[in-house]
């Protein structure tokens, strides 16, 4: 299709070029007529019956004669041919450029676009405003005297789709892409619920530019031999980002102060509950304090502290760590980590669940989450045993409460001094509130929909009770047509458009499945509020963004978020957190997805759309929202994206996140340019003015 469009553009351009050449020929004919008239007056061609060929030969001879001033009145035929050839070459190059922009960049350029249209499209994509008369200025400012004839300011909307609210996009069409080019999944994306999205960051446009360049290289364009892509893709990407950063960087001076915490390494405390490399940590903390970082975040691992026997807690290593942090006048965000570490992205250590819990699991594997095939996941305990006394005479909820109460007693002085500023309570795998629906150890790979994790005997018993209470005991089962871990929505009968997920049984099952998640968080947070009375508590929510643009939101459904296109599944979670006065720590992949090898478009993922849906649900009930980066970040472009999401531009209510945690402390962060960029990021998070230096 793209090649047909390119041929069509080339043909149109050739027609236009032909018209220009024809105009030149017409001008030559006019000159010929004038010359003939002059000859007639002078008597050179006095006989009206002279043949046309002799007149043409005489005109050709005259055409080659110099004028008295020494210049030629008409160009020689050879020069005209060279001009036509250069014009054809120029138009061929233009046609290739326009076709490439349409194909790879979704630029909505008209058929007979000229260089002004191209420059205008690129300027708008960079976040600038281009008026019809050519006046161009940044979107944050207005030119002097710009407005309508009556003095009313002119309102302009940029062409970038990231700046257009979803309700303004015509059904069945995307930016610059006719509806005929969309697949069925794209059409179903148009049925997605409306989410209020603030004005997009100018850094999103730079991200788009780099993504487009990468796509061009991936499509097989020769960057070495093609004159339009001279140089490597990396150099092109760097130039694009540098240009956009210099043109569009936002000034955060005077914006609200957002505390910045740095996550400590996962293995800062070893399995013997000892502080690892105390001297190295002291040096790093000293550096963090010098750039006014507010504090650090540390995981308190259940598998380390209560490793050997029930209620036998060993906090020694954490006590020494907290004392070192306090000496540097830094605050501490603590995570009650009731899950294992290892096997997930970014895990560089292995910390299993307590040994005594594993012994219970060997005799009763139903304490773990289980998939349809009967595979157990020992990453965390099943929510089905929250009220079952299967852990040496205690329920899972009692085990969590005893652990939190022990921590509160042991570190009372740090609570009283305000050193511990927040306690985040682990509620599932990776400490996040979700089912372990996409375990890599069981073969899941992005962007599979995952599998439901409700097949241990305790959750099945809960499902059976719910089905009987509904009056349909045959509904006491999991879906049998939901595919496998790596299925795609349209490959299953349950998640496809119009699938069983939206039928009577599907709605019953998904409602039950999501309520088990909410009930678990409700129980644990109520006890956390009791244990840490007077201290802010928080829960982490992960961003399952792939298949977000489909009707079913399949990956979210298997993770426990009942959030299809016709239902908001995050409002009820926000209401539950609000009841306990808990903050929401939301982690989702940033829009700066440029260096990731995964294809978010192919998975119909929308991290930004999901993020704003969750933020709106939280802010609507005045819930404090914390955030952390999901991907490693050391460059200015990435920091700018984080800043824009933390402090949305032009928000009428001035909403912003409550605190930010940087992932994670490492020698790489302290290295040269990385350190300078991070220091600059911290200042801007604090709302301070920064000095410019080359990025």
Cβ contact 539:427 at 8 Å: yes
Pairing relation of β-strands 583-587 and 625-628?
Answer: parallel
Distance CA 202, CA 646 (A): 14
Q: Pick from 124, 145, 175: which residue ends a domain?
A: 124
Nearest to 406 by CA among 314, 536, 480: 314
Query: Residue 575 domain-assigned?
Result: yes
Q: Determine the pLDDT at residue 163.
A: 33
Q: Pick from 73, 104, 124: which residue ends a domain?
A: 124
Dig out the tokens for 692 from the structure.
């410019």
- Here the CATH number for the domain that contains residue 322 is 3.20.20.80
Q: Determine the pLDDT at residue 20.
A: 45
Tell me how far apart the terminal alpha carbons of the chain are, to the nearest angstrom: 40
Q: Determine the pLDDT at residue 202.
A: 43
**Exposed e or buried b for every residue in 617-626, given b needs 16+ CB within 10 A?**
bbbeeebbbb
64 labelled catalytic: no
Query: Residue 552 domain-assigned?
Result: yes
Host domain of residue 456? 264-686
Q: Determine the pLDDT at residue 217.
A: 34
Distance CA 233, CA 224 (A): 10
* Catalytic choice (125, 388, 628, 644): 628
Site of tokens 């006719």 = 178
- What angle (nearest 5°) sits at the alpha carbon of residue 204, between those of residues 198 and 208? 135
Nearest to 538 by CA among 261, 140, 233: 261
Give the residue ranges of the chain where pLDDT is below 70.
1-75, 102-112, 139-248, 345-346, 589-600, 693-695
Query: Residue 505 domain-assigned?
Result: yes
Nearest to 636 by CA among 597, 684, 588: 684
Q: Determine the pLDDT at residue 330.
A: 98
Q: Determine the pLDDT at residue 592.
A: 45
Query: Residue 413 domain-assigned?
Result: yes
Cβ contact 386:520 at 8 Å: yes
Say how many C-beta atoms besides its own lie within 10 A of residue 172's C-beta: 12
Residue 452 phi/psi, 5-degree rounding, is: -70, 145
Query: Residue 44 domain-assigned?
Result: no
Query: Residue 65 domain-assigned?
Result: no
Query: Residue 212 domain-assigned?
Result: no
Query: Residue 494 domain-assigned?
Result: yes
* Catalytic choice (432, 590, 608, 644): 432
Sign of CA dihedral 87, 88, 93, 94: positive
4 labelled catalytic: no
Domain count, the chain: 2
Site of tokens 């963004």 = 545
Q: Which residues contact 71 (CB under 8 A, 6 or more apart)?
A: none
Strand positions, DSSP E, 242-384: 260-263, 295-301, 331-337, 368-370, 376-381
The half-sphere exposure of 412 on its side-chain side, counting CA atoms within 13 A, is 4
**Maximum C-alpha span of the chain:** 126
For residue 571, CA distances in Å to 314, 318, 615 come to 39, 36, 10
Helices then strands, counting H and E runs in the chain, come out as 20, 12
Q: Determine the pLDDT at residue 248.
A: 63
Q: Pick from 124, 149, 179: which residue ends a domain?
A: 124
Q: Which residues contact 318 (CB under 8 A, 6 or more apart)?
A: 269, 273, 298, 300, 305, 411
Residue 406 phi/psi, 5-degree rounding, is: -60, -45
């Amino acid at each position: 299709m793209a090649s047909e469009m390119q041929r069509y553009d080339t043909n149109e351009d050739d027609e236009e070029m032909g018209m220009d050449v024809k105009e030149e020929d017409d001008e030559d004919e006019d000159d010929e007529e004038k010359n003939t008239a002059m000859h007639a007056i002078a008597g050179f061609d006095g006989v009206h019956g002279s043949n046309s060929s002799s007149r043409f030969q005489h005109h050709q001879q005259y055409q080659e004669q110099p004028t008295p001033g020494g210049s030629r009145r008409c160009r020689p035929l050879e020069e005209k041919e060279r001009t036509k050839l250069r014009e054809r070459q120029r138009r061929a190059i233009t046609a290739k450029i326009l076709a490439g922009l349409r194909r790879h960049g979704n630029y909505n350029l008209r058929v007979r676009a000229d260089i002004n249209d191209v420059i205008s499209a690129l300027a708008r994509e960079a976040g600038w405003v281009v008026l019809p008369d050519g006046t161009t200025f940044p979107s944050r400012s207005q030119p002097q005297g710009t407005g309508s004839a009556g003095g009313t300011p002119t309102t302009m909307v940029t062409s970038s789709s990231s700046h257009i609210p979803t309700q303004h996009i015509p059904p069945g069409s995307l930016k610059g892409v006719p509806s005929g080019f969309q697949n069925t999944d794209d059409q179903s994306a148009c049925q997605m619920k409306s989410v209020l999205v603030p004005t997009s960051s100018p850094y999103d446009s730079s991200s788009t530019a780099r993504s487009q360049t990468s796509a061009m290289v991936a499509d097989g364009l020769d960057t070495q031999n093609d004159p339009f892509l001279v140089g490597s893709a990396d150099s092109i990407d760097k130039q694009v980002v540098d240009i956009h950063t210099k043109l569009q960087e936002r000034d955060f001076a005077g914006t609200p102060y957002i505390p910045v915490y740095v996550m400590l390494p996962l293995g800062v405390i070893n399995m013997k509950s000892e502080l690892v490399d105390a001297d190295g940590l002291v040096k790093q903390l000293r550096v963090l304090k010098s750039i006014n970082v507010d504090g650090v975040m540390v995981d308190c691992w259940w598998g380390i502290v209560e490793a050997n026997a029930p209620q036998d807690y060993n906090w020694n290593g954490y006590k020494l760590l907290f004392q070192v942090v306090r000496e540097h006048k830094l605050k501490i965000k603590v995570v009650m980590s009731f899950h294992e570490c290892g096997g997930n992205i970014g895990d560089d250590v292995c910390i299993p669940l307590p040994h005594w819990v594993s012994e219970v699991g060997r005799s009763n594997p139903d304490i773990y989450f289980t998939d349809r095939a009967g595979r157990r996941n020992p990453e965390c305990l099943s929510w089905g045993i929250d009220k079952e006394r299967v852990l040496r005479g205690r329920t899972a909820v009692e085990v969590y409460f005893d652990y939190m109460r022990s921590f509160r007693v042991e570190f009372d002085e740090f609570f009283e001094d305000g050193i511990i500023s927040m306690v985040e309570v682990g509620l599932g795998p990776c400490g996040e509130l979700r089912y372990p629906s996409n375990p890599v150890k069981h073969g899941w790979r992005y962007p599979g929909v995952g599998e439901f994790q409700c097949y241990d005997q305790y959750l099945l018993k809960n499902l059976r009770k719910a089905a009987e209470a509904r009056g349909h005991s045959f509904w006491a089962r999991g879906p049998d047509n939901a595919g496998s871990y790596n299925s795609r929505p349209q490959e299953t009968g349950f998640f496809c458009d119009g699938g069983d997920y939206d039928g009577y049984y599907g709605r019953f099952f998904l409602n039950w499945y999501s309520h088990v998640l909410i009930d678990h968080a409700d129980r644990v947070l109520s006890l956390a509020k009791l244990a840490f009375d007077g201290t802010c508590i928080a829960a982490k929510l992960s961003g399952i963004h792939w298949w977000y643009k489909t009707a079913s939101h399949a990956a979210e459904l298997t993770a426990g978020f009942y959030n299809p296109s016709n239902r908001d599944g995050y409002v009820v979670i926000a209401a539950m957190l609000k009841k306990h006065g808990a903050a929401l720590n939301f982690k989702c992949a940033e829009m700066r997805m440029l260096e990731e090898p995964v294809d978010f478009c192919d998975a119909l993922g929308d991290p930004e759309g999901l993020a704003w849906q969750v933020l709106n649900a939280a802010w609507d009930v005045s819930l404090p929202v914390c955030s952390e980066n999901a991907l490693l970040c050391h460059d200015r472009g990435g920091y700018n994206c984080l800043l824009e999401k933390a402090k949305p531009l032009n928000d009428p209510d001035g909403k912003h996140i409550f605190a930010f945690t940087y992932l994670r402390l490492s020698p790489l962060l302290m290295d040269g340019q990385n350190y300078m960029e991070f220091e600059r990021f911290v200042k801007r998070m604090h709302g301070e003015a920064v000095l410019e230096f080359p990025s």
